[in-house]
Structure 1
Amino acid sequence: MSSEYLWITIGACALVFLGAFESLAVTTVMPTVSADLDGERLYALAFAGPLATSVIGMVIAGNWSDRRGPVAPLYTSVAMFVVGLLIAGLAPSMEILVAGRFAQGLGSGGLMVALYVVVARVYPQALHPAVFAGFAAAWVIPSLIGPTVAGAVTELWSWHWVFLGVVILVLVALFMVIPALRGLSNDGDATTPWAFGRLGWSVLAAVAVLALNLVGDIPGVGTALAAVAVVVALIAVRPLVPRGTLRARRGLPSVILVRGLAAAAFFGAQVYLPYLLTDRYDLTPTLAGLSLTGGALAWSAAATVQGRMGTRLSSITAVRVGTILVLIGIALTVATAGFGWDAAMIAVAWVVAGVGMGLMSPRTSALTLSMSTPENQGFNSGAMTVADSFGSALALAVTGTLFTAVAAVADPFTAVFALAAVVAVAAAVLAPRMRTRAGADETHEEVGA
């Protein structure tokens, strides 16, 4: 927050905040939107669409940043996000609104990758954990105020303003960032080739994830089609991440994989927590939502603490401890659902899981940049955000299919939480592989921290 970095810090965090706010606010207003536009059949696609298309935006922005620097990708991504907001806010039908959501996903995916590269080019490495802690807080705070603000805006004016009202704020945030971008316009390697192959794979991955959201309920063949979609999605994502990621190769590939697994476990379980509390414990939606507030605050607090600790806390140690805490939190939710423990245990569990995510998420970002070179910062930043979005989207699609499939024969909540716990176990087990046998990555990450 010194004078040199003040406006870029505020503007970058504001852009992250507004993207997160929009994502969470839509969750609150979508039932009203669906009823108003008679769009119940496209309800799920309005959520799955932007998450899937964001992968495409990430790949484009990463490749573009490596070639020409992050400025043009950032401006273009913000423009696409604004166009998506305008289309959705003015939509006369659910089909057009979903199209706007697709554009939002493209823009928000590219925006995050471009911002990561901006951080790498503008800030010294010693400040990276603190900056990413700010990004983490910018994601968490909307979870506390987003649903309430969106509900109030919808009641006082209209759901249209949940989209349209953000446009002006996005432009203001962009103007804060512009001064720090001077001199970065051609800060790339023009000899880096356009990765048209990776773009094609990203489109295939997005289509596979969307298909997984749509085919699971088809009678008779839904499960088989869902399995095919999972296989296609995993094949398609391989070129979008560092070589060896799906095999958990030591070093950067394992950093990317652990980040994706942790995100998949956390968000795959979190989606069903309010559902469990309202369906089984008869809590109001407001009280059920409060169960997630503790986790959001814990995430933000842990991210702030690790940022202040800097090199006193090894990034690899922070990630290892964080993945274990995520596993403990999810294991407590499995036990609560399976044994009928008091609902208060859910809130406790999610505080523990939130601390874990707050510890590990900023440090995987710092590790990724410290293990990158200027020539591949765009690709690796894109891979990191692809791991977040793809892991979460795939987990949500699989848990949704599982929830429906086992509902008639077993407790679906226990089943989805157990699956999330298995994914969390994988993240915790693989976390030590972030350090190479030679120990070179430890040196890099200490400098980055």
Structure 2
Amino acid sequence: MSTPTTRTAPAERLFSGPHAATTTVFAAVMFLTGFAALAVIPTLPTAARELDGVSLFPLVAGSFVAASLLGGVLGGHWADRSGAHRPLAAGMALAVITLVVSGASTSIWQLAAGRFLDGLAAGMVAVAVNAAIGQAYPGHLRPRVLALMSTCWIVPSLIGPPLAGVVAQWWSWRAVFLGLAALTLVPALVVVAMLRARSWQPVSGGESGSAGKGPALLAATAVSLGAALGQYGVSEWDARHLLFAAGGLALLVVFAPRLLPPGTWRALRGLPATVLLRGLGSGVFFTLEALVPLMLVTERDAPPPVIGLAFTGAAVAWAASSWVQGHLLERAPRHHLVVAGALVMVVAVAVAAVGTLPGTPVPVAASAMVVAAVGMGLIAPALTVLSLTHSPPDRQGCASGAMQTSQNLGQIMVLGLASAVLNAFPGDGRTEAAGYAAAFGLLLVPCALAALLAARTRAEG
């Protein structure tokens, strides 16, 4: 008779007793940041077209990713030194400011700056939330809290993109940013006030525990700068842009390996190959999510609600595919699922390429994002399990950080290469459509590499 009480007590303690206010704060933080992050993405191609900055769209999309990498390292460093409540409160306040900056953009450069600040805030919030959970909850409650944080993204992923598309269609893309800023201002202020009222102290004593973060922060800063320079460099084909691209590439070559396990670039068996494949898969998926909507808006004049529905479909497809691999395919070797996911991504790339043809219906082209999400739903969880398998218990945190870093680097580098191919074609109708087709065709290379190298991620036994 005591079993039901034993099972439900931990769940009840999350929203009652001493952890009620803390759980409410964390749930509100994740819901607000998730809704804001997912709602603005479908409007970015429309904004880039209106601001006459289509060629710089990769900079707008990539700056968020580059800044989130820096924000994650900065937020972790700050949380270790002073407690997680400070970077969490700062990230929430900055998130509202960035919405205003982006919504009031008068140029593509201001929009890119707003997206960079948004990525910085998102990286700080994501890492600070995880650190705060470790500092505020006992060990037996942490898995439940982390699961709750994931569920807080479900509703934003379902209603955020299509709702933003409708607002952009009936009003303007600026209304999406400014409306989100207005809607989240008061809740964000409440969250910041609650966070400032309570301090979650660092577990291992501030200064000594963060002594090794300096080199990581320097490397993350250099990588973020290199990514921004590279994304700008690939926006045009001339000597000046080539210099920027070369400078950005040099920074990435020098500093990116310092954030990854040794042997990652050579795909050594075990964790290095696993980390590399996370970057390749994420790079393909992120590039499709960036370029397919841009193509539909600029070449096919697709309405924003269609773009929003494509993002929602992709979120549902990813979740469904993840559930299948975790339940119906739980006995399948994880590296086999990586191969299957890579092959599904090949299909997605082919659908995107077909979508560049003028006679292809817009929903068919948009479905490339949904198909790609099915592939990532197989690849991402499988690689996460493999990364933990290849790491001893006391190094699993480092392995998770390397996977996240590789994901960001892969998104930046694959999008940069595809954008360089796209911008090599003049912007005149049929030729520009051929540029999109060539950019999508380039994505077959990382897909093929992921399929071929998957065996190197195999877990022995």
- What TM-score, normalized by structure 1, do the two folds share? 0.75
How far apart are the structure 2 equivalents of 1:416 and 1:353?
16
Counterpart position of 1:447: none
Larger displacement relative to structure 2 (419-428 or 361-370): 361-370
Say whether 1:297 aligns with 2:306.
no
| CA-CA distance at 1:208 after TM superposition | 1.3
Counterpart position of 2:443: 420
Counterpart position of 2:3: none
Output one character per residue of 1:328-365: Cα deviation in whole Å (capped at 9) or x when no partner: 22233234436965545434443322212223324434
Once superposed, what is the RMSD of the aligned Cα atoms?
4.6
Letter in 2 for 1:186: V
Residues 262, 423 of structure 1: 8 Å contact kept: yes
CA 1:311–1:278 in 2, change beyond 3 Å: closer, same or farther?
Answer: closer
Counterpart position of 1:328: 347
Larger displacement relative to structure 2 (246-255 or 298-307): 298-307
Output one character per residue of 1:103-140: Cα deviation in whole Å (capped at 9) or x when no partner: 33222113323445677885689879967964774774
Counterpart position of 2:70: 56
How far apart are the structure 2 equivalents of 1:429 and 1:135?
36
How far apart are the structure 2 equivalents of 1:306 and 1:133?
18
| CA-CA distance at 1:205 after TM superposition | 1.1
How far apart are the structure 2 equivalents of 1:231 and 1:294?
38
Match of 2:12 among 3, 11, 18: 3
Residues 251, 435 of structure 1: 8 Å contact kept: yes
How far apart are the structure 2 equivalents of 1:375 and 1:209?
31
How far apart are the structure 2 equivalents of 1:315 and 1:63?
33
Residues 165, 305 of structure 2: 8 Å contact kept: no
Larger displacement relative to structure 2 (289-298 or 421-430): 289-298
Counterpart position of 1:197: 215
Match of 2:306 among 287, 293, 300: 287
Letter in 2 for 1:427: A
Say whether 1:249 aligns with 2:260.
no
Larger displacement relative to structure 2 (181-190 or 359-368): 181-190
Structure 1: segments with no counterpart, 5+ residues: 440-449
Say whether 1:106 aligns with 2:120.
yes
| CA-CA distance at 1:318 after TM superposition | 3.9
Please identify the structure whose Cα radius of gyration is greater.
2
CA 1:304–1:74 in 2, change beyond 3 Å: closer, same or farther?
Answer: farther
Say whether 1:270 aligns with 2:289.
yes
Counterpart position of 2:456: 433
How far apart are the structure 1 equivalents of 2:151 and 2:209?
33
Residues 92, 192 of structure 2: 8 Å contact kept: no
Larger displacement relative to structure 2 (307-316 or 234-243): 307-316
**How do 1:2-401 and structure 2 match up within 5 A?**
2-4=11-13, 15-27=29-41, 44=57, 47-62=61-76, 72-73=83-84, 75-86=86-97, 88-89=99-100, 101-115=115-129, 122=139, 134=151, 137=154, 140-141=157-158, 142-148=160-166, 159-170=177-188, 185-186=202-203, 190=208, 193-216=211-234, 217=236, 219-223=238-242, 225-278=244-297, 280-281=299-300, 283-307=302-326, 312=331, 315-337=334-356, 341-369=360-388, 371-372=390-391, 376-401=395-420
How far apart are the structure 2 equivalents of 1:11 and 1:309?
35
| CA-CA distance at 1:298 after TM superposition | 1.0
Counterpart position of 1:445: none
Larger displacement relative to structure 2 (251-260 or 414-423): 251-260
CA 1:308–1:416 in 2, change beyond 3 Å: closer, same or farther?
Answer: same
Letter in 2 for 1:72: G
Q: How many residues align?
A: 433
- RCO comparison, higher one (Cα < 8 Å, 6+): 1
How far apart are the structure 1 equivalents of 2:25 and 2:299?
42
CA 1:321–1:334 in 2, change beyond 3 Å: closer, same or farther?
Answer: same
Letter in 2 for 1:429: L
How far apart are the structure 1 equivalents of 2:186 and 2:392?
35
CA 1:74–1:33 in 2, change beyond 3 Å: closer, same or farther?
Answer: farther
Residues 162, 305 of structure 2: 8 Å contact kept: no
| CA-CA distance at 1:262 after TM superposition | 0.9
| CA-CA distance at 1:210 after TM superposition | 0.9
CA 1:176–1:250 in 2, change beyond 3 Å: closer, same or farther?
Answer: farther
Residues 261, 391 of structure 1: 8 Å contact kept: yes
Output one character per residue of 1:8-62: Cα deviation in whole Å (capped at 9) or x when no partner: 88865654453343234334666898899x8969975554433222111222345
CA 1:147–1:11 in 2, change beyond 3 Å: closer, same or farther?
Answer: farther
Secondary structure in 2 aligned to 1:250?
coil
How far apart are the structure 2 equivalents of 1:374 and 1:382?
14
- What TM-score, normalized by structure 2, do the two folds share? 0.74
